[in-house]
Amino acid sequence: MDEDAFRKQFMKKSVFRQLSSLDKSIVPEKLFCREDEVSTLIVNYRRILEEEEQPSINCLILGKGGVGKTCTARYFGKNFYTIAIEKDVNLFLEYFDCINFRSKSKIIRELLAKYTHGSGRGYSDDEALKLILTKLIRDKGYMLLIIDEVHLLKPDEILAFLNIAETFGHQNAKLSILLICRGTDWMRIESERILSRLNQKIELKPYNFEESMKILQYRSEIALKEDVIDEDLVTMIAQIVVENKNMRHGIEILRKSGLFCDKEGFDHITAEIIREASDDVYPTFRADIIDGLKDQELLALLGIVRTLINNGTPFALVDDAFEEYQSICESYSVEPHVKMSFRKYVRQLAQLKIIASKTVRIEDATRGRHLEITLLDIPAGKLAELLEDIFERKFTK
Ligand SMILES: Nc1ncnc2c1ncn2[C@@H]1O[C@H](COP(=O)(O)OP(=O)(O)OP(=O)(O)O)[C@@H](O)[C@H]1O
Ligand SMILES: [Mg+2]
């Protein structure tokens, strides 16, 4: 490509008014179809702004993937913050996704660094928390802590968060918590003790057709220019959303269809483009989890994916994947870790539900047992493409 051709690309019109409005981290300006759930949150947390002693409130948002848990919580947080400031409450809003902060300690250290500028080295979690709570009281502040994907914490870590007011005294805990979790993951976590610390559980149901229509119409109006998408086509996407019970699928289809138009120079979306985009979206697969992986986990995952592709089998053996991982490390000039660490990365990937692993007994007794790994949610070839993209950015200079 020469410079002229390069420039020409920029002269092309885009079908997007605001592509960034479809980004994963965006909280939409308006939240449709979650009025009841937001009202429930308001009823619970408004006491912080209205009562002298500012109580500690703990709620939990539950629901399947892509039903708007994260977006509802963040929408609530953002608007609650605005009202708090109007009412002269010095609110600190903090959002943590446990994909990036995988333990209670990590979250507390991050808060400590932010609010007291200390590293927290040498402090226990409780000591560090105490410093944060003291700082809040000194600043006449109050913290709303939103913890997403909370199933990645250990149940006793979750309990410790919910227990802060009991542990440090209600008058000392100027802090409330909002947890977010998928329903199936929560079943593993719930206990009497955890339940007794929750003010309310709020369950989000998947959107029905009318609701999906409303949301998609609104999101496409913001993201796309006029006349780029017909109502019929929004209907088509809404049907796909209802079928999969997952709004993320719909938002991804909008994004992919628009990008396809821009690339090919089309000025509007067609049914065929939507069908193709839909085939290219794996509704239960979460690219944001892959983005949050540590380098060694990424290398281990590519090892697994390459083994699956090479073998052409639905599962890979951990030993083969380890060998593949070692050669990948070598090709990117990264020091490979030992097999025990590799197994740890495999366990972490399984915990994040990117892969599933199971131990199987081998007939031949001398070889004992081995670990079989399979990919969930996305074909190996697709994931390899995605990972190679990330590796391009990360490891090659
Ligand atoms: N009521 C709504 N209005 C506008 N956009 C919405 C609404 N509900 C969901 N979305 C959009 O749908 C996508 C999926 O929603 P979200 O990420 O909140 O799902 P989730 O329940 O947190 O899923 P997961 O369990 O996979 O994290 C996001 O892009 C979000 O902005
Ligand atoms: Mg979420």
Q: What does the pLDDT average to over 220-240?
A: 96
Cα gap 23→129, rounded to integer Å: 33
Is the shortest distance between the CB of 249 and ligand 1 below 6 Å?
A: no
Q: What does the pLDDT average to over 302-319?
A: 92
Q: What does the pLDDT average to over 115-138?
A: 90
Number of the ligand 1 atom closest to the C-alpha atom of 63: 21
Is the shortest distance between the CB of 32 and ligand 1 below 6 Å?
A: yes
Is the shortest distance between the CB of 183 and ligand 1 below 6 Å?
A: no
Entry pTM: 0.85
User: Which residue among 36, 70, 207 is best mutated to probe the pocket of ligand 1, counting the most ligand atoms within 8 A of its Cβ?
Assistant: 70
Q: What does the pLDDT average to over 135-154?
A: 96
Output the pLDDT for position 112. Answer: 94
Closest ligand to the CA of 255: 1
Encoded tokens for 134: 């003291």
Tens digit of pLDDT for each residue in 147-206?
999 999 999 999 999 999 999 999 999 999 999 999 989 999 999 999 999 999 999 999
- Tell the residue nearest (CA) to atom 7 of ligand 1: 68
Closest ligand to the CA of 63: 1
> Of 58, 45, 43, whose CA–CA distance to 198 is shortest?
58
Mean pLDDT of the chain: 93
Q: Using pLDDT thresholds of 50, 70 and 90, give the confidence band for residue 285.
A: confident
Number of the ligand 1 atom closest to the C-alpha atom of 26: 31
Is 144 in contact with 93 (CB distance < 8 Å)?
A: yes
Cα gap 248→24, rounded to integer Å: 9
Percent of the chain having pLDDT more than 70? Answer: 97
**CA distances, 189 to each of 56, 142, 151, 182 (Å):** 21, 28, 7, 11
User: Which residue among 180, 248, 256 is best mutated to probe the pocket of ligand 1, counting the most ligand atoms within 8 A of its Cβ?
Assistant: 248
User: Which residue among 247, 252, 353, 376 is best mutated to probe the pocket of ligand 1, counting the most ligand atoms within 8 A of its Cβ?
Assistant: 247
How far does residue 216's CA lie from ligand 1's centre (Å)? 11
The DSSP element (H or E) to which 115 belongs, if any, is helix 104-116
Output the pLDDT for position 78. Answer: 97
Number of the ligand 1 atom closest to the C-alpha atom of 72: 18
How far does residue 322's CA lie from ligand 2's centre (Å)? 31
Percent of the chain having pLDDT more than 90? Answer: 77
Q: What does the pLDDT average to over 231-248?
A: 94
How far does residue 203's CA lie from ligand 1's centre (Å)? 14
Q: What does the pLDDT average to over 248-257?
A: 95
Closest ligand to the CA of 21: 1
The C-alpha torsion from 191 through 184 and 93 to 129, rounded to 10°, is 40
Is the shortest distance between the CB of 250 and ligand 1 below 6 Å?
A: no
Output the pLDDT for position 8. Answer: 82
- Tell the residue nearest (CA) to atom 15 of ligand 1: 68
Output the pLDDT for position 189. Answer: 95
Output the pLDDT for position 363. Answer: 65
Is the shortest distance between the CB of 373 and ligand 1 below 6 Å?
A: no
Closest ligand to the CA of 185: 1
- Tell the residue nearest (CA) to atom 9 of ligand 1: 68
Q: Using pLDDT thresholds of 50, 70 and 90, give the confidence band for residue 325.
A: very high
35-204 architecture in CATH?
3-Layer(aba) Sandwich (3.40)
| Whether pLDDT at 360 is above 90 | no
Fold of 287-395: Arc Repressor Mutant, subunit A (1.10.10)
| Whether pLDDT at 362 is above 80 | no
Output the pLDDT for position 344. Answer: 95
Is the shortest distance between the CB of 68 and ligand 1 below 6 Å?
A: yes
Output the pLDDT for position 302. Answer: 96
Cα gap 121→99, rounded to integer Å: 23
207-279: which CATH number, 1.10.10.60, 1.10.8.60, 3.40.50.620, 3.40.50.300? Answer: 1.10.8.60
Output the pLDDT for position 364. Answer: 60
Is 246 in contact with 66 (CB distance < 8 Å)?
A: yes
How far does residue 35's CA lie from ligand 1's centre (Å)? 14
| Whether pLDDT at 223 is above 80 | yes
Is the shortest distance between the CB of 354 and ligand 1 below 6 Å?
A: no
Output the pLDDT for position 11. Answer: 78
Cα gap 135→116, rounded to integer Å: 7
Q: Using pLDDT thresholds of 50, 70 and 90, give the confidence band for residue 389.
A: confident
Q: What does the pLDDT average to over 233-257?
A: 95
Q: Domain ranges in the chain?
A: 35-204, 207-279, 287-395
| Whether pLDDT at 397 is above 70 | no
| Whether pLDDT at 250 is above 80 | yes
Closest ligand to the CA of 33: 1
Closest ligand to the CA of 183: 1
Output the pLDDT for position 367. Answer: 57
Cα gap 249→279, rounded to integer Å: 10
| Whether pLDDT at 226 is above 90 | yes
- The shares of helix, strand and coil residues in the chain, as percent rounded to the nearest 5, are 60, 15, 30
Q: Using pLDDT thresholds of 50, 70 and 90, give the confidence band for residue 289.
A: confident
Helix (H, G, I), strand (E, B) or coil at 62: strand
Bridge partners of residue 203, in order along the sequence: 62
Is the shortest distance between the CB of 150 and ligand 1 below 6 Å?
A: no
